[in-house]
Structure 1
Amino acid sequence: MEGSAAPVNSLCSVQRMEESLMQKLTSAEKAWCMYDWANSAFVTTIVAAVLPAYFAEVVCEADLVTISFFGFSITSSSQSLWGYAMSLAALLVAAGAPVFGAAADAGGRRKLFLGILTAVGVAASALLFASGPGRVLYTLAILVLGQLGFSGANVFYNSLLVSAAPSERRDLVSARGFAMGYLGGGLLLAINLLMVSKPSLTGIPEGDLGIRLTFLTVAVWWAVFSIPLFRKVPEGEKTAGISFSKSLKTAFKTLADTFRHLKQHRNPFRFLISFLLYNDGVQTIIMMATVFGKAELGLKTSDLIGALLLTQFIGVPGSVAYGRLAEKTGARRSILMGIAVYLAVVIYAWRMTEAWQFWIVAGVVGLLQGGIQAISRSFYSRLIPAEHSAEYFGFFSVSSRFASIIGPLMFALTGDLTGSTRNSILVISVLFAAGAIVLLSVRNSDNA
């Protein structure tokens, strides 16, 4: 992926797919989908691809780094520090989810809150331009801030789907938005690959300037492509008589009631435990793959970005293929098959030493990650009581936010305790194995 032909061909393919996806949508629906196109750049470029490699290679100048804050000092590797930051961000997002959700339910000012949190994410992306050698705490703090902006904004973005599309079209529009996110994030990542691997083509001097400029491109991309939503998606009506404080109280009460009710239904309760375990493994691989590849394997940044770009574009057809597999074998069996492949990927990654092996892992993960999450959602929908589907999926959404806390923390702690992040990779297998064991106890349907 050192040449420029592959990224250029990718840009042409993305343009054709975008035109196909946006056909037969209203202007409000298109505008809503464009926000997914806009903010997915933060995940692909900053969280998954460019920043973790830059953090491991440039920001952390030594194998072990010491940072101090609030009177505490931590000495750790770049991989473990990244894992701690990812875990902290996930914890803060999970804790803030009911608050953001209550604000969205109170209604009336969804676009205002969306604008504020989008601005936080955009500003954090731009501020990463100032990261550099030795600025470890600064880089991690801005990363966590960006994660909060991204995840908080998504709560209000999701709530605006009600205003953007009528009920009978929301599944279609939601799926289109998901696909647009894959394509938008992938397109900017292809551009970023050119900036990093061939800076002369874009007039960028040699050095780390091209990498730091990619963070500015995320800020501009996110801000510019968010504009259609604010212009064309209506605000929606405020729920009469519902204040923020009342909505927040209702949100916590609903979560508690749903949890009590869920425990009385063995199948959905066990599946939710299983999903949280294996999905934590999926999310940990996404978050930690690049920093592991850079710090442990010493791979080139262009190889890491290219491999993540491969994952991004394989994800769309991979999700479709996984859905067809589920139709033939059944949802539960297809999920178990996906978990088995993930276990094989983890064991393979534990032993890999070359760039081409990282590309193989990236390709296999691209085939799996979107499909296993989509089929998990549909399988869960068949396990829950139909009359309680809204509150059960609300609990599913909130609890899913906790799926990125344990894995990165396990990764970081194992690396610090054993002195090798190869062992950290192997520990992730525990999440997949435990998830599979619990899933085996779930019957295919049980609404009682």
Structure 2
Amino acid sequence: MDDPTTQARPAGTREVLAWAFYDFANSGYTTVVLTTIYSAFFVAVVAADLDTANPGTATLLWTLGIAAANLIVLVSSPVIGAMADVRASKKRYLLYSSVACVLGTAGLALAGPGEAPLALTILIISYIAFSLGESLIAAFLPEIASSENMGRISGYGWGLGYFGGLLTLGCCLGYINHATAQEQGAEQYVPVTLLLTAVIFAVTAAPTFVWLRERARPRAEASQSYVRAAFAQVADTLRHAAHLPDLFRFLLCIIFFQAGVSTVVVVAAIYAQEVMGFSSQRLIVLIMVVNFTAALGAVVFGFVQDRLGSVPSLAGALLLWIVAILVAMRGDSEALLWLAGNLIGLAMGATQAGGRALVGQLTPAQHNGEMFGLWGLANRAAAIVGPISYGIITRIGGGDHQLSMLSTLAFFLVGLALLLGVREARGRSAALAYTARSTGSNGAH
């Protein structure tokens, strides 16, 4: 029985770019909503009244909202990924999730001061859609890349994604400078930046849906209930986890180091604003520079990963994260925060591109949507544990953000320890054996 994911002709340059452009498109949501403008706006404006009596409450509420969204994605992502495999419909589901995220991003503009429940509801919807789209686009990677160039192509995607974040932030900064010159406050200009972000996402995602091909074919299980078949496939994979020990060890590793990454993403603006007193404009400039260094890190790391191997390269990136967090914790000046930010940018580009590529290399053929659903599950579990740990420590510490950084540092240390136990060559061999076993089993029916 042939692998249904390899019967179509290989991806050309235009299709690879179309795939990578989705990273370009959705990065605006990450940079504007999660990292830079909206997270700080939520704490300082939308939920500001809650912080007056109990410092740290707004930050905790923000991290709880992110955790709730990630909990929903954690449960749904592997099943939706498996359904996409069964129906060969990754592209269709990707379209649905993209439309929902675009509408949710625009909808955040409706929530004003004192309307934290409304803001959190819309945030959760948009974040769920964003996260599902992230897993679905990643599931195309093994179909358009070979094991020899997967690191580079994943790096191109993340690198292009950071430039997408730069474009969106640049547009937002231009509007904010115009609005402040007109003596408008955050309550007036932040909603407009959200609408800008939604429009840029919708427009720049278009090449993905025009040129990216769905190479997979519907499975025999398609005559059954899709949900039942998807649950059965996920359950079967988890039962056979012993056959893919390095993949599942790396997924556990991802939970820990991505807990640290997720924390930095959702509290960076809050930390810069509350600890260092950054204004919106200075914060956007910082994140724009960090996006540039992250793009550089993602692209360069892709080449290093293909040459030296994923595990040693990722280990170097995690060491860079650890140094960056230590600098941020000790930072008592703007210069040190800039240094920490750019180290974080380099490390973030490397870990995100490298982690996705290594999962692709360790994934058995015909199980891309499912395994990248599990990758999404690991990322979502991390995004629950990391930020909520930070929020709880901040609340207990009465708003002490530097104390909360200790939990972030611990996640990277544990992730590095787990990574050193992953054997890349053994994991690839196990994936091939798993594919052969699955194909033989399917052919016997």
If the TM-score is normalised by the length of the shorter chain, which range does it land in? 0.7 to 0.9
| Residue from 349, 366, 370 that aligns with 2:345 | 366
Q: Does 1:53 align with 2:40?
A: yes
The Cα offsets for residues 202-229 of structure 1, whole Å up to 9 and x where unpaired, read as: xx65222222210010111122333444
Give ranges in structure 1 of 5+ residues lacking alignment: 1-23, 67-73
Q: Secondary structure at the match of 2:205?
A: helix
Counterparts in 2 of 1:154 and 1:323: CA distance versus 1, 3 Å: closer
Letter matched to residue 47 of structure 1: L
Between the aligned partners of 2:421 and 2:355, the Cα distance in structure 1 is 15
The corresponding residue for 1:424 is 404
Between the aligned partners of 1:194 and 1:385, the Cα distance in structure 2 is 43
Residue correspondence of structure 1 range 11-26 to structure 2 within 5 A: 25-26=13-14
The corresponding residue for 2:442 is none
| Residue from 180, 185, 207 that aligns with 2:160 | 180
**Cα RMSD (Å):** 3.6
Note the C-alpha offset of 1:157.
4.5
The corresponding residue for 1:119 is 99
Q: Does 1:207 align with 2:185?
A: yes
Note the C-alpha offset of 1:411.
0.8
**Structure 1 vs Structure 2: percent identity of aligned residues?**
26
| Residue from 312, 319, 342 that aligns with 1:340 | 319
Note the C-alpha offset of 1:340.
2.8
The Cα offsets for residues 33-64 of structure 1, whole Å up to 9 and x where unpaired, read as: 44333222111111111101211222232472
Between the aligned partners of 2:305 and 2:33, the Cα distance in structure 1 is 32
Between the aligned partners of 1:169 and 1:334, the Cα distance in structure 2 is 15
Does the 8 Å CA contact 1:34/1:228 hold for their aligned counterparts? Answer: yes
Letter matched to residue 424 of structure 1: S
Counterparts in 2 of 1:415 and 1:337: CA distance versus 1, 3 Å: same
Letter matched to residue 183 of structure 1: F
Q: Does 1:319 align with 2:298?
A: yes
Does the 8 Å CA contact 1:46/1:52 hold for their aligned counterparts? Answer: yes
| Residue from 260, 271, 276 that aligns with 1:281 | 260
* Matched residue count: 413
Q: Secondary structure at the match of 2:162?
A: helix
Between the aligned partners of 2:213 and 2:355, the Cα distance in structure 1 is 32
Does the 8 Å CA contact 2:162/2:292 hold for their aligned counterparts? Answer: yes
Note the C-alpha offset of 1:189.
0.8
Q: Does 1:249 align with 2:236?
A: no
Residue correspondence of structure 1 range 39-118 to structure 2 within 5 A: 39-62=26-49, 64=51, 76-107=56-87, 113-118=93-98
Q: Does 1:195 align with 2:182?
A: no
Q: Does 1:142 align with 2:122?
A: yes
Between the aligned partners of 2:231 and 2:367, the Cα distance in structure 1 is 17
Between the aligned partners of 1:392 and 1:59, the Cα distance in structure 2 is 38
Between the aligned partners of 1:37 and 1:380, the Cα distance in structure 2 is 21
Q: TM-score, normalised by structure 2?
A: 0.79
The Cα offsets for residues 361-384 of structure 1, whole Å up to 9 and x where unpaired, read as: 2100111112123334555667x5
Does the 8 Å CA contact 1:107/1:236 hold for their aligned counterparts? Answer: no
Does the 8 Å CA contact 1:283/1:403 hold for their aligned counterparts? Answer: yes
Q: Secondary structure at the match of 2:109?
A: helix
Counterparts in 2 of 1:297 and 1:174: CA distance versus 1, 3 Å: closer
Letter matched to residue 434 of structure 1: V
| Residue from 372, 376, 387 that aligns with 1:408 | 387
Note the C-alpha offset of 1:436.
2.5
Letter matched to residue 409 of structure 2: S
Between the aligned partners of 2:266 and 2:68, the Cα distance in structure 1 is 13
The corresponding residue for 2:111 is 131
Of residues 192-201 and 236-245 in structure 1, the stretch that sits farther from structure 2 once superposed is 236-245
